[in-house]
Structure 1
Amino acid sequence: MAFLQYIIDLGASVMLPLVIFIIAVCFGIKVGKAFYSAISIGIGFVGIGIIVDFMQASIGPAAKAMAENFGLNLKVVDVGWPGMSPITWASKIALIAIPIAILVNIVMLLLKMTRVVNVDIWNVWHMTFTGAIAYAATGNYWIGILGVIVHAVIAYKFGDWFRYDTEDYFGLEGIAVPHGTSAYMAPFAVMVDAIIDKIPGLNKITIDSDKIEKRLGIFGQPVIVAFFLGIIIGILAGYDVKAILQLAIKVAAVISLMPKVIKPIMEGLMPISEVVKERLSKRFKGSEFLIGLDPAILLGDPTVVSAGLIFIPLSIVIALIVPGNQVLPFGDLATIGFFIAMGVAVHKGNLFRTLISGSIIMYITVWIANESVGLTTKLAQMTGTLSDTSGKVAALDQGGSPITYIFTQLFHMTNALGLVVIAIIYAIGLYMTWARFKKLQKTRESQ
């Protein structure tokens, strides 16, 4: 257990390359090549971390200033995944969660319930969070373990169901994203896409990066658009001219640098994933496998980055209109791209549809996060990471998860109507996602 905790404490930028290196060597890849690929992946994740930290340091204060400038009564600050993941890893469920998630994956592979071979061990914290919150709510350790299992099963299935989106839109063949944030919100995008398809006129509206650039010329380039978004955020934050211009340049830097820091991950990953898939397919008589990875590989897409920047101020507006909400989006503002990335693929890069589904996603996320403040605070207190007994903790990432909310409410009912509404909407979304996958699968097989 102490060894597992040590590995966890290394962080994603070391933990994931280590896992990748071990897997690569086990599959017969030369040590030198495996080591180089692992280092490249680590460099990419360090780059992402630098960009995320940069966004939190520059855009985060602007968002908070914006809320204060408009006198918003949002007193519980979202600590984001950087704050919530350490809290989760400190829980009593954490160390056993990793072997459980791996075991669930193996069992599902053997039973042919999934094609996803998940190597994204760091993000098992999302599955762990469901178990940790359920344990905090009920005091029952085994209900917590069940929460890990349920979340793991759903996450791996999402990897299967959105495989064609990952392949066709992002160009990542043989890759899956069974992630606790990006994947679980995509069913809402599936519902929105299906509804818009049936509305005459609305179904013809398409806004994408190429069209914006074509119509606006140089002013339609993502970097220029990001610059002006930075100006808008600065104005809303009440900054002076100097601070506005500095923020605008920083926002433009984010959209320019993000695709560049993703590149080392792809360069390190693709050769290994190809070999792993080939060896597994031979071993299991032609079965096709998908390598499960962190959604960071999706953040290089211009529409994902652009939409993520738009949702920084928009999420605060949404938080204001959620009835009874006390959560101020903050820690996760820099990574809203995770929440909407798969939705962008579902909408085939259509920014118009992404803004609609993304608004719904963020509304539901904020509502659930607000409902979960008591339990996220209790978890932080139980793990000793919140010493102030009068303080409260919230997190959009996982704290706003419909999977966690529905599972926990089944054993710890606090809002029956809220549970019924969220459960029905999400169940419809899951069914439509499954049906959509089957339709796409049938089309592929007939080609």
Structure 2
Amino acid sequence: MLNNIHNFFNAFGASVIVPIMIFIISLFLKVKPKKAMMCAFYAGVGLTGFSWIINEFTPVVTKIVRQMVNNTGIKLPVVDIGWQAGALASFSAPIGLTFFVFGLVAEFVLFAIGITKVFMPSNLWNNFGFMIWGTLAFYVTHNWWISLGLSFFMLLYTLLVAEIQADRWSTYYKIDNTTVCALQNIVQTIPAILLDPLWNLLGFNKANLTPTAFKNKFGVFGEPTTLGAILGLLIGILGNIKNLATVAAWGQIFQFSIQLSAVMTIFPLVTKVFSKAFIPLAKQINQERKQNKNAKSGIDLIQDSKRWFLAVDDGVGYGEPATIISGIILIPIMVVIAFVLPGNKTLPVVDLIALPYMVESIVAITNGNILKVIANGVIWFSLGLYASSWLGSIYTNAISHYGAAIPAGIVLVTSFNLMAHPLNAAVFAAFISKNPLWISLCIIIYLVLLIVLRKYRPQIWTYLNKMAAKNVQATSSLKASTKE
């Protein structure tokens, strides 16, 4: 049965399966069939567009990064080969496929009984983020229940964090009643919240580093298209620092400048198409709210205990200007940090293009303050380099065992996007220890946070909006998050 499921999803892929899920969910939400069909098509078109752009641009970025590495002469043993190998292994492993089937059932049940207010099945494909950790755990422990339990526990706390940041995310990215819920990109919410008072103390909230500010100050040079060209020029020069006297080097530099400019121009356009898949669903959720007693009595969005959110693919936010600018700026920064960080063994390469996905929650929490996003990214992803360094041999052996190919000449591999997350690594360590004390501690912390969220959700959302409002770029959109 698991093999049949594996073959089915391999045959159709995300660009077909996700639209089917969107169509079914649209009909369930009473969206008209014609509009539901268009939602499904927009989802498929958007996912295909993301895939084409990233597949074309990833080899270009990888080549530049490798040249930067070669220029330093530093050799790091754990090489990032991208998240795709981990996804392949998780869909090939029995423990991964078991979670894919029963995890989907659990997501429906958790939503139905009110444990979570986030409807996760709409983001079905990102379940591989939970599956890969269970796959690694099973390779280490050979314990079916510990490994499956780990995947389910990661689902639980991901839904918790997704709901904490849901109001901010939907407000900032301007799609009502939606949130992202990918394990590999959601936990950044935690450092963003914890570190924000420190950044304010240092005056980062007064730094007007936003796409809007760039446009106002620099005109055409503040546009994402132009900023992409400038960033591409700088990164290209870093990748060719030893060959600047050659025509070939400058040819590559200017080509990369145009290519990065194209990505920062085209990606937002694809994002707009992709977001059309979810806007009718979000509106339908609002329509249902207006028909219930709470809405009629004038209760606002923050106070509405029945408000729920649709989990959407984080591709919806990738092309937002502050998100893609922050992510691209972090590419050379993380490469340099990988070289100088004491004890680090990980070289981020292929998944660097995923950095805009990885900073979305930080962008939403900080209201698009690029300086804060970069500061949070530097700290959190630096800790993540240690996590992926520790997991290097486990990840390499596990994914190769389940059929993923290891590039020739590389001893250890990782996925910067999947593995460079300190919190996920800590939970993984607790479960593979098989120590009841550490596993129980994880569960107790989750239950306490869940109780706090259920009791104080309006206060938490209000606090996050006040945090966002302290940034100099706060706009009227913040007011829209608290009143309909």
Residues 215 and 221, structure 2, Cα contact 8 Å, conserved in 1: yes
**CA apart distance, 1:255:** 0.5
Matched position secondary structure for 2:343: coil
Q: Name the structure 1 match of 2:149.
A: 146
**2: CA distance, partners of 1:268 / 1:446:** 25
Of residues 193, 196, 200, the one that matches 1:197 is: 200
Residues 118 and 308, structure 2, Cα contact 8 Å, conserved in 1: yes
Matched position secondary structure for 1:384: coil
Q: Name the structure 2 match of 1:378.
A: 397
- AA partner of residue 104 (structure 1): A
**2: CA distance, partners of 1:29 / 1:261:** 23
Q: Name the structure 1 match of 2:54.
A: 52
**1: CA distance, partners of 2:178 / 2:95:** 29
**1: CA distance, partners of 2:97 / 2:205:** 48
Q: Name the structure 2 match of 1:395.
A: 415
Write the deviation string for residues 35-94 of structure 1: whole angstroms up to 9, x where unpaired.
222111100111111111122021111011111111121233202212221122111212
Q: Give the 3 Å change call, closer, same or farther, for CA 250–124 of structure 1 in structure 2.
A: same
> 1:209-288 counterparts in 2 under 5 A?
209-238=211-240, 240-275=249-284, 278=287, 287-288=306-307
Q: Gaps spanning 5+ residues in structure 2: where?
A: 244-248, 296-305, 466-480
> Does the alignment pair 1:122 with 2:141?
no
> 1:66-77 counterparts in 2 under 5 A?
66-77=68-79
**CA apart distance, 1:173:** 0.7
Identity of matched residues, %: 22
Residues 78 and 414, structure 2, Cα contact 8 Å, conserved in 1: yes
> 1:283-362 counterparts in 2 under 5 A?
287-362=306-381
Matched position secondary structure for 1:332: helix
Of residues 169, 172, 177, the one that matches 1:174 is: 177
**CA apart distance, 1:269:** 2.1
Q: Which moved more, 1:221-230 or 1:31-40?
A: 31-40
Q: Give the 3 Å change call, closer, same or farther, for CA 323–299 of structure 1 in structure 2.
A: same
Q: Name the structure 1 match of 2:302.
A: none
Q: Name the structure 1 match of 2:299.
A: none
**CA apart distance, 1:101:** 2.2
- AA partner of residue 98 (structure 1): F
> Does the alignment pair 1:439 with 2:441?
no
**2: CA distance, partners of 1:202 / 1:243:** 35
**CA apart distance, 1:352:** 1.1
**CA apart distance, 1:27:** 4.1
Q: Give the 3 Å change call, closer, same or farther, for CA 320–20 of structure 1 in structure 2.
A: same
Q: Name the structure 2 match of 1:410.
A: 430
Q: Name the structure 2 match of 1:34.
A: 36
**CA apart distance, 1:105:** 2.2
Q: Which moved more, 1:127-136 or 1:2-11?
A: 2-11
**CA apart distance, 1:282:** 7.0
**2: CA distance, partners of 1:284 / 1:323:** 58
Q: Name the structure 2 match of 1:99.
A: 101
Q: Name the structure 2 match of 1:161.
A: 164
Q: Give the 3 Å change call, closer, same or farther, for CA 203–20 of structure 1 in structure 2.
A: closer
Q: Give the 3 Å change call, closer, same or farther, for CA 241–408 of structure 1 in structure 2.
A: same
Residues 105 and 156, structure 1, Cα contact 8 Å, conserved in 2: no
Of residues 43, 46, 52, the one that matches 2:45 is: 43
**1: CA distance, partners of 2:161 / 2:78:** 31
Residues 13 and 42, structure 1, Cα contact 8 Å, conserved in 2: yes
- AA partner of residue 257 (structure 1): I
Matched position secondary structure for 1:366: helix
> Does the alignment pair 1:4 with 2:41?
no
CA RMSD of aligned residues (A): 2.9
**2: CA distance, partners of 1:70 / 1:344:** 32
Q: What is the number of equivalent residue pairs in this alignment? A: 434
- AA partner of residue 460 (structure 2): K
Matched position secondary structure for 1:156: helix
Residues 134 and 144, structure 1, Cα contact 8 Å, conserved in 2: yes
**CA apart distance, 1:168:** 1.9
**2: CA distance, partners of 1:262 / 1:271:** 15
Q: Gaps spanning 5+ residues in structure 1: where?
A: none
Q: Give the 3 Å change call, closer, same or farther, for CA 30–440 of structure 1 in structure 2.
A: closer
- AA partner of residue 334 (structure 1): I
**CA apart distance, 1:285:** 9.2
Q: Which moved more, 1:230-239 or 1:380-389?
A: 380-389
**1: CA distance, partners of 2:179 / 2:380:** 21
Q: Give the 3 Å change call, closer, same or farther, for CA 161–324 of structure 1 in structure 2.
A: same
Q: Give the 3 Å change call, closer, same or farther, for CA 390–61 of structure 1 in structure 2.
A: closer
**1: CA distance, partners of 2:130 / 2:222:** 40
**CA apart distance, 1:386:** 4.2
**CA apart distance, 1:441:** 4.5
**1: CA distance, partners of 2:36 / 2:457:** 37
- AA partner of residue 148 (structure 1): S
Q: TM-score, normalised by structure 2?
A: 0.82
Residues 281 and 288, structure 1, Cα contact 8 Å, conserved in 2: no
Q: TM-score, normalised by structure 1?
A: 0.89
